[in-house]
Amino acid sequence: MKQKPAVSIVGMGYVGLCTAATFASRGIQTIGIDIDQARVEQIRKGKAPLHEPQLDTMLKNAVKKKLLDATSEISVAADTETTFLAVGTPGQQDGSIDLSYIKNATEDLGSVLREKPGYHLIVVKSTVVPGTTNGVVKRFLEQSSRKTIGAGLGLCANPEFLKEGTAINDALHPDKIVIGSNDKKSADELTRLYRHFYGSKLPPVILTSPEAAELVKYASNAFLATKVSFINTIANIAQQIPGVDVGTIAEAIGLDPRIGGLFLKSGPGYGGSCFHKDLQALINYIQNRNYDPVLFRATEETNKQQANRVVGMAENLLGSLSSKRVAVLGLAFKKDTDDIREAASIRVINQLKKKGARVVAYDPMAIPNTKKTLSDQIDYAENAHSALKGADCAIIMTEWDQFRQLVPKDFQTHMTAPNIVDARRILDPKQFAQLNYLAIGTGSVKA
Ligand SMILES: NC(=O)c1ccc[n+]([C@@H]2O[C@H](COP(=O)([O-])OP(=O)(O)OC[C@H]3O[C@@H](n4cnc5c(N)ncnc54)[C@H](O)[C@@H]3O)[C@@H](O)[C@H]2O)c1
């Protein structure tokens, strides 16, 4: 790299890499740091190690222009002015978050900053429970760097709100930036960086304490997850009432600005790496402080049960699922990603297997990741048509655009009988009226 990089980002996963690519796209010298050497090599070649729309092109350009580089050597962080921590904070058995990646990264970072003569700002982008930035992170940084936050080091909590599948667009056009800090200089430095990044399009910046910033992230995900479980509950009610469709209910209530129309799509339950993990972390965090957040436990339980609803709909069509061949269309937790972490498809597949069904699955992107989890417990098809071949039932689990293109003939031609469970409500019920078609939240049958 010719120029000194201005920003380093520790952790080149969804958040770190998308952040790095967008920083670089705005001319900010960025270096990504990851312990995964294979990932680093791939990034250095300008190839994204994960599927995210626009990322490949952006990465290729940034690497070509030498605005983005990657390494597994954390020592390079000392040559930058600001280091973002974007390592994983996975859930543990009891729901609490595993802070070991944060601790390791923080300790390593502190050590390499020990000899740095100038000021260095550290920004916690990972999702961490309230008190983590000012607790563990601060302690580890100060111990290993032998410096003091507020003097040689700056520290901010700056949670990330991007969504997989639209991560690049979200990073370029966030609705807000939340900066939590205990000292003005840290907050000013980070605001300055974002002002440089966004120019006149700087979104609203909420300046607050680290603990409040950390809680904003959990509150945001808890609200969204609860909205999903809410509309799924309404869908399950609508499904019991002939002639009622949850889509109409969602449209009508969504027009009330207090409710809002977004995130009111009923389906097989939320998935992805964040909602379940973050809700569990929040529940665990506050239960340890003697408050039981009943609402969030219900959100999670509703979500878990939604997979059973989907399988129940298949049973409505087939009776017993034993030895039946079920085609699962879609594995990714949502379209335009290859991520299957906490995907509803996996919960549904596990239920189907338990009931003795033979499962064949197809997904345009997520088969390699699914194979790592389910290996040969299920069959994999090369396309939707071959998945449908000889199937007794098809379950649409991900709203991929290519599944929207399916027409009745695709099912009639290939399946033993055209039994369809549309867990994403992406097909036109009128077009499929002649087939055995059930959509979640449509009241035509007893679920
Ligand atoms: N994925 C999302 O949509 C999303 C959105 C908002 C916030 N978040 C939060 O952001 C954080 C990161 O999430 P993600 O999905 O990008 O994680 P991820 O698992 O995709 O990536 C984490 C990366 O960190 C690397 N890593 C771990 N320890 C390291 C170390 N000591 N030094 C360098 N690299 C290290 C791993 O090798 C991995 O590549 C989490 O706290 C998550 O909750 C995620």
What is the structure's pLDDT at 4?
54
Nearest CA to 59 among 172, 49, 156? Answer: 49
In this structure, are strands 419-422 and 436-439 parallel, antiparallel, or unpaired? parallel
CA-closest residue to ligand 1 atom 25: 11
CA distance 108 to 260: 44
What pLDDT, in 10s, does the model give residues 95-111? 999 999 999 999 999 99
| pLDDT of residue 2 exceeding 80 | no
* Ligand 1 pocket mutation, candidates 96, 104, 273, 337, criterion most atoms within 8 A of CB: 273
| pLDDT of residue 9 exceeding 60 | yes
Those residues with Cβ within 8 angstroms of residue 53's Cβ, 6 or more apart along the chain or in another chain? 165, 166, 168, 336
- Per the document, the length of the chain is 447
Q: What is the CA(102)–ligand 1 centre distance, in A?
A: 10
Q: Which residues are known catalytic residues? A: 274
Q: What is the CA(98)–ligand 1 centre distance, in A?
A: 12
| pLDDT of residue 447 exceeding 90 | no
Confidence of residue 51 (pLDDT cuts 50, 70, 90): confident
Six token digits for residue 232: 């799924």
Instruction: Specify the pTM.
Output: 0.94
Mean pLDDT of the chain: 96
* Ligand 1 pocket mutation, candidates 10, 12, 14, criterion most atoms within 8 A of CB: 14
Mean pLDDT on 334-361: 96
Confidence of residue 5 (pLDDT cuts 50, 70, 90): low
Contact, 425 vs 265, CB < 8 A?
Answer: yes
> By percentage, how much of the chain surpasses pLDDT 90?
96
Task: Fill in the amino acid letter for 56.
Answer: D
| C-alpha dihedral, 137 to 143 to 147 to 149, nearest 10° | 30
Q: What are phi and psi of 37, to 5 degrees?
A: -60, -40
What is the structure's pLDDT at 263?
95
What is the structure's pLDDT at 443?
85
Q: In the structure, which protein residues have their CB atom closer than 6 angstroms to any atom of ligand 1?
A: 10-16, 33-36, 39, 86-89, 101, 104-105, 126-127, 160, 162, 164, 273-274
CA distance 328 to 433: 21
Mean pLDDT on 353-359: 98
| pLDDT of residue 445 exceeding 60 | no
Confidence of residue 258 (pLDDT cuts 50, 70, 90): very high
Q: What is the largest CA-CA distance in the chain?
A: 74
Question: Which of 136-140, 164-168, 188-192, 318-322 shows the lowest per-residue confidence on average (mean pLDDT)?
Answer: 164-168
CA-closest residue to ligand 1 atom 33: 34
What pLDDT, in 10s, does the model give residues 244-254? 999 999 999 99
Q: Cα dist. 72→21, 39, 43 in Å?
A: 17, 9, 11
What pLDDT, in 10s, does the model give residues 289-329? 999 999 999 999 999 999 999 999 999 999 999 999 999 99
CA-closest residue to ligand 1 atom 27: 87
Q: What is the CA(387)–ligand 1 centre distance, in A?
A: 33
- 3 state SS of 141: helix
